[in-house]
Structure 1
Amino acid sequence: MRTKRFQNRITTGRFTLPIAFLISASCWILASILLPAIAVQPDDYPLWQAFSDNCIPVWGNRLFTFILYALIGYFLILLNNRFAIIRMRASVQTSVYFLLAAVCPSLHTLYAGDLASAAFLAALFFLFDSYQQERPEGNLFHAFACIGLGSLLYPQLTLLVPVFWLGAYQFQSLHLRSFFASLVGWSVPYWFLLGHACYYGEMELFFQPFRELASFDSVRFDFSLWESVTMGYLLVLFMVSSMHCLVAGYEDKIQTRSYLQYLILLGFCFFVYIGLQPAQGVQLLPMLLISVSILAGHLFVLTQSRGFNLFFICAFVGLFLLFGFNVWTLL
C-alpha cells in the first residue's frame, strides 16, 4: 500500500464508501444546524404540492431527502455491477455522489427533482439493459414509463425523452416497435392521472403537467453565487472526466464506451439546460450529479499517473472548500 499513490489507496480502499457516507452525513447534520431555515425555491406546481404536503412531514423533510440520496447511491453500485462501466466492482461513483450532494446544502431539502432523479436513474438502467437486444420493447417500455412517472412530479423530465431515443438508437435498440413501446410506456402514468381527473371531475389537474412543461423563463444567466461556484466545480470535473473517457476509450469494451459516451451526452444536456434555465438548476442538479459521479468514478479508478493523482487531491480538497463556501454564502 505504501507504493500506491494517494488516489489509488482511496479508490481501492474497502473503507472509502463508509467514510464517504459518514462525511456526507456529518455535512448534512452540520448544514441543518447552521442553516435551519434554508431558503427553499418556491414551486406552485399542484401535483408536487399535493404530494409534498400529504406524504412528507415538515420535520422529516431533510431526513427523507438523505434517505433518498442514500438509495440512489446504492443503486449506482448496482448499475455499475450490472453493466461494468468502471471495469471492476467499484463503489467510488457512489462515494463521489454522496460527497457532491453533501457539499450543496440547498439540495438537502426535498424538491421534485430529487424524486425525478430516482426515476431518471431507473430509466437509465432499463435503457442500458436494452443494448443490442433483439426484442428491446420491454426495456424501453419500462425506461419511458419511469420517465413518465417522474414527470408527473417534475414535468420537465419529459424533455429527456428525445435524448433517451437518441440513446436507444446509439444502443441499436430503437426500431418501429420499440419506438411505439416507449410512447406507450411514457403515457401509462398519464392514463392513470386522466382516470383520476375524470372520476373526481378535476380535468385541470390532468392538463397542468403539460402547461408546466410548456412554460419557460426568459434566458438569462442570473445564477446565485453558490450556484455559479458549484456549477464551475462540476463543469471542471465533468470536462476532465469526459476527456479521459474519449481519449482512453480504447481501453474499454465497445459496450462500455457506448455507455460512457451516452453519459457524457446526458451531462452536456444538463449543463446546457441549466445554463438556459437557471431557475431549474436546483431541480436538475441531482440528475447532473448522477452523470458526473459515474464519469468521475471512472476517471479516479482507472487513472494511475502523477498528474491525475494531483487532480484527485485538488478535487478532494476542493470539495471541503466548496462546502465551507456554500454554507458561508447561504448563512
Structure 2
Amino acid sequence: MTDTAVVSPAPLTLLGTGAMGTALARVWLAAGHEVTVWNRTAARTEPLAAEGATVAASAADAVAANRLVIVCLLDDASVGDALGGAELAGRDLVNLTTGTPAEGRARAAWAEERGARFLDAGIMAVPPMIGAPDSGGYVFYSGSPGLFEEHRDTLGVPAGTRFVGADPGFAALHDVALLSAMSGMFAGITHAFALIRPEDIAPKDFAPLLADWLTAMAPAVHQSADQLQSGDYTRGVVSNLAMQVAGNATLLRTAEEQRVSPELLTPYMRLMERWLALGHGEEDGTGTVELLDVRGR
C-alpha cells in the first residue's frame, strides 16, 4: 500500500477585518486554513477569534506570523500605514485593497524594495458573494507570476481567480474598467425608471423588460472590441452613428415631456455629436473612444 501525503491548507495572515475581510477570513477558516488577523480597531476581530482565527497585537506581528500576507484595507494610504513598521523580506504580499493602476505599480515597487513578492488585486464581488461558488464572483490578480502560481489554490478558496498579467497595475485597471461600465449601465437604468415613474407603470412589471433588453444589448461589447482591435469602426455596423444621433432627439424630447432631467444621457450624446461632426456618420459609436483618449492632446 502506498501512503498518500496529505497537504495541509497553507497558513496565512489577513490585515483588515471589515465586511470584505471578515467574509474572506471566514471562508479560509472554514476550509481549514490557519488564519492570523489584525485590524486597526481590534474589536472587529473578535467574531473571527471566536471562529478560530489568531488575533495579532500589531500589523507587524501579523506579518511576522506567516509568509503569505493578504491585505484588505480601506485605501492605498492605509496599506502603507499598516505595513510601514513590518518586516517584509521574504514575504508574499497580496493586496486586495481597491486602488488605481498607478497605486498598484507603486506599491509593487515599494514591496519589492523591501524584499517581498507582490500581487495586486481587484475584487469583482461583494461580501455575500465570497465563498459562494455559484455567485459569479472572482478576483483579478496581477504582479508576480511566481507568487500567483504558488498560492493559486489558497487564493481561489474564497472566489475564482483571474491572473491578468505581470504588470502590477493591470488588476486595478481591469477592476475599474468593469466598474466604470457598470456605472454607465446604472445611469441608464436610473434614467429609464425615472421616465416611467410618473405613469401607471409598476417598476416591478417594467424591470424584466429592462433586464432582458440590457442582456440582449450586452453582446455589442464584442463588436466594439473587434472594431477597436482592427481599427475599422465600420465593421458590422447595423445602426450607424448618424442614425443614432438623430434618434437622440426623441430621447431628449421624451425626457422633457416626462419632466425628467437628461443629465445622465447628455454627456455621451455630446460625444456622439462631436464624432459625427468629424465625418464618422457611417460608423457606430465605438470611435468615440478616440475622443476620450487625452494622451495626444
Q: What TM-score do you get using the length of structure 2 for normalisation?
A: 0.26
Q: What TM-score do you get using the length of structure 1 for normalisation?
A: 0.24
More strand by share: 2
Greater RCO (Cα-Cα under 8 Å, separation 6 or more): 1
More helix by share: 1
Structure number with greater Rg is 2
